[in-house]
Chain A
Amino acid sequence: MNFEQIIFYILSFWFIASSLAMIFSRNAAKAVLFLILAFFSAASIWLLLEAEFLAITLILVYVGAVMVLFLFVIKMLNIDKSTLRAKFAGYLPLGLLVAAVIVTEMAMVLGYNQFGLDVMAAPARHGADYSNITVLALQLYTDYIYSFELAAVLLLIAIIAAITLVHRKEVKRKGQSIAQQVKVQAKDRVRLVSITPKNKENKS
């Protein structure tokens, strides 16, 4: 077993262990932390495959932004565990049915006969001057430019849709207009008056 394999097995172990821990942990905040660990392990495995751009993007987008918002929401929510447990038994038959369907589907798609070196040859190692990001950028902006632009437009539409859903007509509220506050000049607030002292007038 060479060194790369040892690293791969360590990372895979952490990936599976942290995913399991995430599912079974009772504390929602801890579950998010285990999910972050799983993301890091997945990113490291991608690094072993020389897909460093994907690995870094996974950390940048999911760990750096999405999971922060998850933790944010979890801190704001006050989750009552007893009501969750009470509903658990009622949903159990339906849940088991759905789980069974998903497991069979995944077994069909991700079964052992779909993988292995005879089905998918080991990816060739590239030289030291190989740049994953350059290759990816060339692919994205030449061969797949239309799908790339379409995805971007789709995201834009999603943003507009989300904003129109929550945007309402201006309600009468006592908010502060920061733009106005910032624009304020000293002369709007303070009036400087020049007063000649009376004693001076008398003297002259």
Chain B
Amino acid sequence: MTGVWQLIYEWLPWFDGVVASIVIILIKALALVLPLMLVVAYFTYAERKVIGYMQLRIGPNRVGAKGWLQPIADALKLMTKEIIFPSKANIYLFLLAPVLAITPAIAVWAVVPFDEGMYVANLDISLLYVLAIGSVGVYGIILAGWASNSKYPLLGALRSASLLVSYEIVIGFALVTVVMIAGSVNLNDIVMAQKGGVLHWYWIPLFPMMIIFFISALVETNRAPFDVVEGESEIVGGTHVEYSGMTFAVFFLAEYANMIFMAVLAVILFFGGWHSPFEGIAYLEAGFSWVPGIIWLLAKSTFFMFLYLWIRATFPRFRYDQIMRLSWKVFLPWTIVWIFVVALMTQFKIGPWF
């Protein structure tokens, strides 16, 4: 690959190679976003199929062989549908809202290390970047609720604003423990620190934090059983009520891109990122050394993505005040206690993680 980058630098020599750098970043971003959109499309197909089988149904099976073209058909339908603007809505903010939802959802992927040296940007503070950009995503929902000038979207937006702000604190504290063990806020370093087999991954010393992180990720992405933002049995469709066609599809894309990102982040932080699970086991390590790291990363995150669907098919929706209590009275004390536990473990060098 370095040969190709060198060629681009030679073709575009303006501004000391800055133009070439921008072109390279654009190429990398395209190589990231296009597969991501494909994964999102087929994740929706997987969701319908998995939940269908769990409920003893078949799921989509009409379009293409076994329904494989269903997401394409859905995308075409959404693209050709008419976009309706509520007459009293604030048009600019109404159209800005989906943009503000999708931009952070894609921008966070810039720092994800897919393999050794395989990333768009090796940011020194990538974990903080993930938190910061993730917290910007809430504006899409808040603006959608406010600009629609309608009752149910506003209720949904209020719910989501308070939920996201309180669960960001929980996620932040849970990530502090990871940073304490790894000694870095760079995602690449965090993955490198987990080298050396399944027992060296952080899911053992941080087991409660992993569970808290995953449940908080469910809240952050507005997934069942915490999807009170949409809550179709209470407030019709929440913030999406007034959105139709492509404007709705953009929200949909953002939500699923966020879900996949949270699954990948859980793998990077607690399950060794792109490290093979067979590291340190004599024959298996050699036997599987040909598998590229990105395959391991995707395989592990597929499990978490499946967990999203499994949880959605299993649990009934939480009541709003119960979700709030879970955050402030259950998760927050647990994370603070675990920070002290991790501090003691680091001080006395317990286990192979330090």
Contact = CB atoms under 8 A, between A and B. Distances in A.
Interface in B168-204: 168, 185
Interface stretch (B41-49, B75-83, B132-140, B285-293): B132-140
A49 interface: no
B136 A56 contact: no
Interface stretch (B1-9, B157-165, B304-312, B341-349): B157-165
B95 to A, nearest CB: 13
A53 B125 contact: yes
B158 A72 contact: yes
Contact of A65 (B93, B124, B154, B168): B168
B157 to A, nearest CB: 8
B18 A53 contact: no
A57 to B, nearest CB: 7
B128 A53 contact: yes
A57 B185 CA distance: 13
Contact of A71 (B15, B136, B142): B142
A132 B325 contact: no
Contact of B131 (A60, A71, A72, A176): A60
Given A3-B16, A75-B154, A178 B146 contact: no
Interface string B110-125: 0000000000000111
B354 interface: no
A56 B321 contact: no
A63 B125 contact: no
A187 to B, nearest CB: 21
Given A2-B16, A65-B165, A176 B321 contact: yes
A98 B158 CA distance: 37
Interface residues of B, number: 32
A22 B262 CA distance: 34
A155 interface: no
A59 B129 CA distance: 9
B15 A178 contact: no
Contacts of A29: 93, 146
Contacts of B321: 176, 178
B233 interface: no
A48 interface: no
Interface in B87-130: 93, 123-125, 128-129
B185 A133 contact: yes
Contact of A64 (B18, B132, B329): B132
Nearest to A181: B322
A68 B128 CA distance: 18
A30 B92 CA distance: 11
A65 B161 contact: no
Interface in A41-65: 52-53, 56-57, 59-60, 63-65
20 contacts: A3-B18, A29-B93, A36-B139, A53-B125, A53-B128, A56-B128, A60-B128, A60-B135, A63-B132, A64-B168, A65-B135, A65-B168, A68-B138, A68-B142, A68-B165, A72-B158, A72-B162, A75-B157, A178-B325, A179-B329
Interface of A: 2-3, 29-30, 33, 36, 52-53, 56-57, 59-60, 63-65, 68-69, 71-72, 75, 131-133, 176, 178-179, 181-182
Given A63-B136, A69-B165, 17 more contacts: A3-B15, A33-B93, A56-B128, A57-B132, A59-B135, A63-B132, A68-B161, A71-B142, A71-B146, A72-B158, A72-B161, A75-B157, A132-B124, A132-B125, A176-B321, A178-B321, A178-B322
Ranked nearest first, the 5 interchain pairs of A and B with the lowest CB-CB distance are A64-B135, A60-B132, A59-B132, A3-B18, A3-B15
Interface of B: 15-16, 18, 93, 123-125, 128-129, 131-133, 135-136, 138-139, 142-143, 146, 154, 157-158, 161-162, 164-165, 168, 185, 321-322, 325, 329
